[in-house]
Structure 1
Amino acid sequence: MTRPRIVLDAMGGDNAPGEPVAGALMAAGVLGAEIILVGRKDAVEPELRGTGTIRDVRVVEAPDVIEMDEHATEAVRAKPLSSINVGLQMVKRGEADAFVTAGNTGATMAAALLTLGRVKGIGRPALATIFPAAEGRLTMLLDVGANADCRPIHLVQFAHMGSAYMERMFGLQRPRVALLSIGEEETKGNQLTLEVHQLLRGSRLNFIGNVEGKDLPRGLADVVVMDGFTGNVVLKTAEGIAELLFTELRKAVELTPWNKAAGLILMSELRKVKRRLDYAEYGGAQLIGVDGIVVIGHGRSNARAIYNALKAARDAVQNGVLETMRAVGKEVPARGQPGGEAAAGDTSGED
């Protein structure tokens, strides 16, 4: 297999270009991939000085930057030579296999749709992220921010994509798929979840029913689907709780000499727990359903998070995730029908 070529937005994120470049240097020669840094050369190249000849890393000029607070669609159209646009165009032209950024999420999604388009048969792409659960289990959550408003068929398609992803990437046979709701009973939830529940119940997926927010850390399901508004709130709340937990633990350890002694004894285990809950360990969310591999990292990503985002992109390329999504697009329901399925190839549900 040829080496994956991964474009990294060197100007994306709160800590650009320093942390993206540092993450690329961490990945160079380790991931077995070519890293293409896209951004302003006058900003990126100074970050590379003193590192000697860097194998597997090169720089491509992109003179414009879409800032984190810019309006997504307007910025994408107004700045065709931005690092986001240039990087995605390289993927579109076949000059790269994947695109990674910690930059403006909305702009990345808009540019990906305009440049790469959707996988045929998929109505809307979804942001999918890996959520750490009990006993080392991992759960995929989607959508976590691409679509604030969804129709039932969109969540059904998210479920199919998530199930196929977990099977392909983690080797799970018939991944357990669940729907996030306010109760386990199929009669609980709003109109959207009630309809989605019935559609998933009649699908060929291994649908185990509804789960509540409290069930997510327990790892009861391998894939949990929700609309993007709900998913983004869940994700940000989980990040905030994890940060609060470790801040309070640190304060408690420093209260007394006895606490400090106990903290030293437990330090290695606490670090393991912190690492499992740290967003930087998972790199970012993958935008599945667009016709290309796109990984979007947290805006405050450090070098380790960038490295893990590059690793996630490499793994997606090597495991044929895009080809898997294209196969899903050919089989997935395109509109809701009694029983939850639709005629193959029917795309009337797309918008």
Structure 2
Amino acid sequence: MTNHNNSRCVIAIDAMGGDFAPQNAVVGAIEAFHEAKDFDLFLVGKKEEIEKVIKNNKLVFNSDFIVNADQVIDMQDHPAETMKTKPNSSMAVGTKLVKDGKAHAFVSAGNTGAMVINSIFGMGRIDGVSRPTLTAPLPNSKDGFTFLADVGAFVDSKPQHIFEFAMLSSIFLREIYEIKKPRVGLLNVGSEDSKGYKLILETSELLKNSDLNFIGNVEGNDIFKGTADLIVCDGFIGNILLKFAESMPSFLKAAIKNYADKSFSNKLKVAPFKFPPTKAGFKESLSKADADNVGGLPLLGVNGISIIGHGSSSTLAIKNMVLSAREMHNKNLITKIKEELSQYAKQK
């Protein structure tokens, strides 16, 4: 393998990551590879199992781009311990490809905590970043997204960490989603400046004194309103919010079905949501929150592109994870983050 730092985009995927690996990971990644045709792909994992999936699904892929890794990190493995107990895992090997300049990105639907740890120690952090963040899009009522950071890269944070989440995510929104000056809100129990505990009050001061487009405190009910483009919080709260939000589409569908099943008159009342052709429209309106379309979440702040998907990722979700990594590379996201953080450090 040659160094690809200054050439064609190269993406490595954890073929062993996810509840349905290697099947979904291999098929989804190769689908993205053949659709885009403008990047190279490494499949990282147990070579024999990967080749079996390729053969069984009659896929076309050059076996020279299969990178053998004979250990697999399971969902129940303790993230920090995997660095020592499974040094030849698909995650460890994949992140090292990025560190060594043989790939620009690594994506995985495996153990989230292990992927965070392996990305930090495998790729390293960008200068000026004390803690990376997982940044997630949530659909809002303005037909767009409200982004939430951090949603679980770390469960405890200091004011400086949350400030960095805001910086990293603002650059991400500007470069990838073309939001020129993202509105940043700090999640709190009220909009007043005096509200909140020490972490919130100190973080608020950092945000106020920055060049970020800080609009002040926002509350939980602002998330779906689209009051801010980006809402920052510590990873413990963010992860709870993300999982709550992800449960909403299935809850709404179930609630409508349960109501309709009680009587014929109820069926008529919910007909716009229940029956064709509007059933398809209802499903499509909720699709922004669908993990298949989101694909995976970027771990911002590490020295390379790292995208983490759901353990239950489908073939489509994997495909979209890979295509997201390609877009981040093509838009020079990592370079833009480095440049902006370097400028910030000089101003301090």
CA displacement 1:176-202 (0-9 Å, x = unmatched): 111111111111112111111122112
Cα displacement (A) at 1:242: 2.5
Question: In structure 2, do the counterparts of structure 1 residues 56 and 221 end up closer, same or farther at CA, with 3 Å as the change threshold?
Answer: farther
Q: Equivalents in 2 of 1:52, 1:117: separation in Å? A: 34
Partner of 1:27: 32
In structure 1, the residue matched to 2:83 is 76
Asked if 1:121 is matched to 2:128, the reply is yes
Task: Please give the secondary structure, in 2, of the residue aligned with 1:209.
Answer: strand
2:43 to 37, 47, 61: 37
Of 281, 284, 289 in structure 2, the residue corresponding to residue 269 of structure 1 is 281
| Aligned ranges 1:155-234 → 2 under 5 Å | 155-234=162-241
How far off its partner does 1:130 sit?
1.7
Q: Do the aligned partners of 1:160 and 1:332 also contact (CA within 8 Å) in 2?
A: no
Distance in 2 separating the partners of 1:111 and 1:138:
29
Identity over aligned pairs, percent: 36
Give 5+ residue unaligned stretches, structure 1: 334-342, 346-351
Give distance in 2, aligned partners of 1:75 and 1:26.
Answer: 30
Equivalent AA in structure 2 for residue 21 of structure 1: V
Q: Residues 55 and 268 from structure 1, CA distance in 2 versus in 1: closer, same or farther, beyond 3 angstroms?
A: farther
Task: Name the CA distance, whole Å, in 2 between partners of 1:52 and 1:265.
Answer: 35
Partner of residue 332, structure 2: 320
Is 1:178–1:211's contact at 8 Å kept on the other side of the alignment? Answer: yes
Partners of 2:63 and 2:146 in 1: how far apart? 32
TM-score in terms of structure 2 length = 0.91
Change (3 A) 1:252 1:34: farther
1:268 partner amino acid: A
Do the aligned partners of 2:79 and 2:114 also contact (CA within 8 Å) in 1? yes
- Is the 1:37–1:58 Cα contact (8 Å) retained in structure 2? yes
Tell me by how many angstroms 1:269 deviates: 0.9
Shift of 1:26: 2.2
Aligned residue number for residue 3 of structure 2: none
Deviation at 1:253, TM superposition (A): 5.2
- Mapped partners of 2:168, 2:217: distance in 1: 18
Deviation at 1:271, TM superposition (A): 2.1
| Match of residue 133 from structure 1 | 140
Runs of at least 4 residues off by over 6 Å? none
The alpha-carbon distance between structure 1 residues 284 and 13, as it changes in their structure 2 partners (threshold 3 A), is same
SS in 2 for 1:218: coil
Offset, 1:164: 1.2
Length, aligned pairs only: 336
TM-score, length-normalised on structure 1?
A: 0.90
* 2:106 aligned counterpart, secondary structure: strand
Residue segments in structure 2 that go unaligned for 5+ positions in a row: 1-5
Distance 1:221 1:52 in 2: 44
Q: Which moved more, 1:24-33 or 1:300-309?
A: 24-33
Does the 8 A contact of 2:299 with 2:305 survive in 1? yes
In 2, are the aligned partners of 1:35 and 1:56 still within 8 Å (CA)?
no
Kindly indicate whether the alpha-carbon contact (under 8 Å) linking 2:54 and 2:60 is maintained by their aligned counterparts in 1: no
Q: Is the 8 A contact 1:6 1:35 kept in 2?
A: yes
Residue in 1 aligned with 2:305? 293
Q: Is the 8 A contact 2:99 2:124 kept in 1?
A: no
Q: Does 1:46 align with 2:52?
A: yes
Per-residue CA deviation, residues 219-244 of structure 1 (Å, 9 max, x unaligned), is 11111111111110110111122221
Query: 2 CA distance for matches of 1:243 and 1:58?
Result: 39
